[in-house]
């Protein structure tokens, strides 16, 4: 797999690796400064856990998992594709883009999110514990389990008829 690394000059790509890439402090600082336009396609995992990041570039594809838990990210970019898991636990995220693709699990625990986009498909499980979700969208498809524990604003007995959950609904 090819994963591009950032150099101190953000316009210069300096190679690739065959393993998951975790950003160095220098690269994280460049990302925080908004100098991440060279990042459009990450083949492995992208771990930004606990950083001060507030945005990502449009049309970003992460082949592995994207770790944004405990960051200050409040929204996701258009056309975001995550091949594996997307971790948004403990972030101030309030909405998801209509064209979000998540190949495996989507973690939204302990976020202030109140709704999900129509036609959302999550390949694995969907974790909504501790959110302010008030209803589930039309045509939501969950390939694994749907975790609704601690969703006090959601009427769990009145879920949409178009809801498809291939695993269990955990109330």
The predicted-structure confidence for 44-56, as pLDDT tens digits, reads as follows 888 889 988 888 8
pLDDT of residue 25: 54
Give the whole-angstrom CA distance, residue 74 versus residue 83: 21
pLDDT of residue 18: 40
Give the whole-angstrom CA distance, residue 45 versus residue 58: 18
Q: Say if residue 28's pLDDT is above 90.
A: no
The model carries a pTM of 0.80
For range 115-136, the mean pLDDT: 94
The residue that leads in pLDDT, 35 or 137, is 137
Q: How many CB atoms lie under 10 A from the CB of residue 122?
A: 24
Q: Could you tell me which of 41, 49, 47, 39 has the C-alpha nearest to residue 1?
A: 41
Pinpoint the alpha helices (H) of the chain.
Answer: 25-32
């Amino acid at each position: 797999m090819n994963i591009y690394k950032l150099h101190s000059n953000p316009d210069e790509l300096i190679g690739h690796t065959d393993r998951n890439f975790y950003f160095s402090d220098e690269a994280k600082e460049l990302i925080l400064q908004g100098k991440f336009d060279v990042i459009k396609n990450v083949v492995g995992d992208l771990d930004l856990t606990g950083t001060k990041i507030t945005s990502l570039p449009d049309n970003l594809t992460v082949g592995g998992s994207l770790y944004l838990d405990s960051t200050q990210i409040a929204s996701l970019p258009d056309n975001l594709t995550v091949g594996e898991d997307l971790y948004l636990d403990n972030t101030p995220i309030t909405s998801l883009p209509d064209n979000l693709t998540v190949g495996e699990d989507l973690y939204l625990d302990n976020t202030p999110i109140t709704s999900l986009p129509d036609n959302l498909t999550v390949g694995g499980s969907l974790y909504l514990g501790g959110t302010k979700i008030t209803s589930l969208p039309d045509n939501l498809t969950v390939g694994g389990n749907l975790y609704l524990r601690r969703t006090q604003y959601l009427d769990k007995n009145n879920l949409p008829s178009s809801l498809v959950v291939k695993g269990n609904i955990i109330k």
